[in-house]
Structures are given as C-alpha cells and as structure tokens.
Chains A and B, each alone.
Chain A
Amino acid sequence: GDSVTQMEGPVTLSEEAFLTINCTYTATGYPSLFWYVQYPGEGLQLLLKATKADDKGSNKGFEATYRKETTSFHLEKGSVQVSDSAVYFCALSLSGGYNKLIFGAGTRLAVHP
C-alpha cells in the first residue's frame, strides 16, 4: 500500500551544521509531497510542499525536491539554528475526494549551540 518512510532519529546537530532528513515514498499514481514540522507542545504545521516531479518546495531556509525516479523527498537546510529543533514529518497526499495525508513516523531534530 501507499506509505512514507523517514530516517530514524533523533538527529543531533550543532548550530550552523548542514541538515538532511531522508524521506522515501511508495504510492500508486502521482502524489503530492509535504514536510510538516511539530515544535514542542504544538500541533503540526506545513513547512513546504511539492505537487509534481522535479518541483522544489522551500520555506524558512528548508528545501526539498520531488524526485520521481528515486521516489524521494529529502529535506535539507544549509545552516540549522537552535530554533529548528522539532519533529519533522514527511507526508504524501493521494488524489481523490478529500485530502488524505499519509504521514511518515517523524524524525526528531535536536540542535545544540
């Protein structure tokens, strides 16, 4: 069935380090892909999205490119900050009558000064 696989965490980095969080998916058809972020004590919020192959989503210095050939949507940031510490969820959305989001398990990121 349709699914999303993320790298296991936690990911621990020093401030200003380069971040990559891997995400791969399995889906029938052509899904839209998302990264959501959950800061401590809060609900999820959309970080970025891409709706078709080769699209790049970007926001707050984060980027991810929809790679159909490798079924991947890896999240990257060139220089992380302490304030980026959060749980990051990769998700896909299937076409249909409503927005059914399928989430990965989440990857916790901890950034230290």
Chain B
Amino acid sequence: NAGVTQTPKFRVLKTGQSMTLLCAQDMNHEYMYWYRQDPGMGLRLIHYSVGEGTTAKGEVPDGYNVSRLKKQNFLLGLESAAPSQTSVYFCASETGGANVLTFGAGSRLTVL
C-alpha cells in the first residue's frame, strides 16, 4: 500500500540548473497538489491539478512548472533553480471533496 511516493528524496542543485520532482499515487485520486515547506511559514501551495491533463497555479507558482499527463503522476519542474527555491517539497493527493489529503514523505532540495 504505497500511497503517495516522491522521488528523489534529496537533491542538491547549482543555481541555474533544472530538475523535475516526480509524485506518484496509487489510490486513483483525482486531485493532486505540490506544496513547499519553509521554516516558520507552514506549507504553501505551488500548483495543483483537479484531474488528468489539468493544472492550475497556487499561492507561490513563480519559477515552477507542472504536468499531469497521467492520472497517477504529477511532475514539478524547476527550469532554472534559484537559492530561494531551497525547501522541502511535498506532494499530496485526494479524491476530491473528501477534504482529506494524503501526503508523500517529502523531497528536500538545496540550491547552491
């Protein structure tokens, strides 16, 4: 019973490099989310998706792109990483309307 799986768990980038975080869920959930967690600021929504092929901006979308080509996967991309994007990133999913999110274990990204 995997739930929500995020890869990679850790990554160190240099300023200007690009990378993609992968989120995979096996619960057939419609809605998926990407959050970032920073000290003293809680979790902030980056982008979300309400179904396969759809994406929308959250609270802090600048510098990130996402894709939801398959229902079970939600990718978060950084085209040109900046030190301000150093954070812990969490993916979450839900069925939609249940008001209960299932979170992955997080991906810690450091941008030097």
Contacts and interface: CB of A to CB of B under 8 A. Distances in A.
Interface of A: 4, 32, 34, 41-46, 49, 51, 89, 93, 97-101, 103-106
Using C-beta atoms within 8 Å of the partner chain, give the interface range for chain B: 20 to 34
Interface of B: 4, 31, 40-45, 48, 50, 58, 90, 92, 94, 96-106
Given A43-B4, A43-B90, A106-B42, A101 B105 contact: no
Secondary structure at the A interface, as helix, strand, loop or mixed, is strand
Contacts of A98: 31, 48, 50, 96
B45 A100 contact: yes
B99 A105 contact: no
Contacts of A101: 43, 45, 101
